[in-house]
Amino acid sequence: MTRLFTVLLIVCIGMFGYAPFLIVNAPYESTMGLVQKIFYFHVAAALTLFLSAFVAGISSAVFLFGRRPSADRVAVAAAEITVVLGLIVLVSGPLWARKAWGVWWQWDARLTSTLVMWLVFQSYILLRRYGGPGSERLSAAVAIFGAALVPFVYWSVNMWRTVHPTTNVVPTLDPSMRGPFLFCVLAFFCLYALLLTTRTALETRRAELEALYLALED
Amino acid sequence: MKKIAYILATLAVLALPCERVSAWQPPAAQDGFVPVEQLGNQEQLPAAPLVAGAYGVAWAAILFYVWTIWRRLARIERELADVARRVAPGGR
C-alpha cells in the first residue's frame, strides 16, 4: 500500500507539474482563442468524474448484492471523489461558457444532467453522514442510480439540441491538441487512483477503529 | 450538330467554376472603425482571468481534498493508537 502510494504520488506530481507546459504550448483554437484552454482540465476532470461514478455504482452493487463490506468502503471513497471532480467540472465549465457563449449557465441537457448527477452523489454523502444505522444500503442504491445517469449525461449532447459541444469533438481533435489532452486525462486518472487508494485506506482504518471500540465495550 | 453539342457541353463545364466565383460575395466594405470599448460584453471579456480561475479552482479543490484526507487519516491513526493502548492487557 505504502509503496503503491509513493509511486502514484511521484507520478502524479510529475504529470501535474508538466501538464501546464503542455497546455501553454498547445495551439489556440481558431474561434474561442485562449479560453478554450480550459478544455484540457475540464474534459479530463469530466471523464474521470464518469469513471468515478461508475466505480461508486459498481462497488455499491457488489456491496448490496454480494454483502462485501470492502466494496462499500470503495464506494464511499469513489462517491466522495465524484463530488470533488463534479465541483471542478461544474465550476470550470461556466467560466469557459461565460466567454464562449456569453452566459455563465444554460439549462440545457448536458449542464442540467451533470448538475443532477452531482446532486445525486451529494445526497449519497449526506445520507452516509446523517442517515443513521442502515443508511449504507440505502446510499448504495443511490450510488447505483447515480452511475446509471452517466450514459445519459454523456450522450445528452447528441440526443438533445444543446449549446454544449458534441462528443465528436474529442475523437476529431487536431494531433497538436490531442497530445496535451490525453496527457491531462492520464494525469487525472493517475490522481484518481491515488485518491481512491488513500480514501479507501482511510475507510478501512475507520472500520478497524470501530471494531476496536466494540472490543473495548465487551 | 454533334459538334455544336460538344461545344455547348464544354462551355457548360467551363462555366461551372465561374458560377461558383460569382456566388462568392466579398465582405461588406467597412464604413468606419469600432473602438474595442464599444464591442459587446462577450467580446470585451478578457479570457486570461477565466482560464486562471478555472485552473485555480481545480488545483485548490484537489489540494484542499488531499489535505482533508490527510487530516482525517492522522486523526484516526491517533485515535487507533489510543484505543489500542486501552484494549491491550494492562491498559486503561
- Per-residue pLDDT of chain A in tens (218 residues, 90 and over written 9): 678 888 989 999 999 999 999 999 999 988 888 899 999 999 999 999 999 999 999 999 999 999 899 999 999 999 999 999 999 999 999 999 999 988 999 998 999 999 999 999 999 999 999 988 889 999 999 999 999 999 999 999 988 888 898 888 888 889 999 999 999 999 999 999 999 999 999 999 999 998 888 887 77
**For residue A55, what is its C-alpha cell?**
466505480
Hey, are the CB atoms on A209 and B83 less than 8 Å from each other? yes
Non-local CB neighbours of B45 within 8 Å, separated by 6+ positions:
A98, A99
pLDDT at residue A214 in the model: 84
Hey, are the CB atoms on B76 and A212 less than 8 Å from each other? no
pLDDT at residue A217 in the model: 77
ipTM exceeding the 0.85 mark: yes
| Domain range enclosing B64 | 47-92
Asked if B86 reaches chain A (Cβ–Cβ under 8 Å), the answer is yes
pLDDT at residue A67 in the model: 87
pLDDT at residue A122 in the model: 97
Hey, are the CB atoms on B50 and A35 less than 8 Å from each other? yes
In tens, the pLDDT along B10-52 reads 776 666 555 554 555 555 665 666 655 566 655 667 888 999 9
- Domain parsing of chain A, residue ranges: 2-25+37-205
For all residues of chain B together, what is the average pLDDT? Answer: 76
Res. B5: pLDDT tops 70: yes
Q: How far is the C-alpha of A149 from the C-alpha of A145, rounded, in Å?
A: 7
How does residue B3 score in pLDDT terms, banded at 50, 70 and 90?
confident
Residues A57, A74: contact at Cβ < 8 Å?
no
Structural domain includes residue B3 = no
B contact residues 3-62, partner A, Cβ 8 Å cutoff: 40-42, 45, 47-48, 50-51, 53-55, 57-58, 61-62
In tens, the pLDDT along A72-123 reads 999 999 999 999 999 999 999 999 999 998 899 999 899 999 999 999 999 9
pLDDT at residue A189 in the model: 97
pLDDT above 90 covers what percent of chain B?
A: 34
Non-local CB neighbours of A209 within 8 Å, separated by 6+ positions:
B76, B79, B80, B83
Structural domain includes residue B20 = no
Q: Name the residue facing A209 among B45, B61, B80 (closest C-beta).
A: B80
pTM of the model: 0.83
Hey, are the CB atoms on B79 and A209 less than 8 Å from each other? yes
Structural domain includes residue B42 = no
How does residue B72 score in pLDDT terms, banded at 50, 70 and 90?
very high
Structural domain includes residue B84 = yes
Structural domain includes residue B16 = no
pLDDT at residue A76 in the model: 96
pLDDT at residue B42 in the model: 57
pLDDT at residue A160 in the model: 87
pLDDT at residue B31 in the model: 63
Q: How far is the C-alpha of A114 from the C-alpha of A154, rounded, in Å?
A: 9
Hey, are the CB atoms on B58 and A205 less than 8 Å from each other? no
Alpha-carbon dihedral angle through residues A31, A34, A36, A39, given to the nearest 10 degrees: 160
Residue of B nearest to A45 (CA): B58
| Domain count along chain B | 1
Q: Name the residue facing A212 among B69, B72, B87 (closest C-beta).
A: B87
Structural domain includes residue B22 = no
pLDDT at residue B26 in the model: 55
Residue of B nearest to A188 (CA): B62
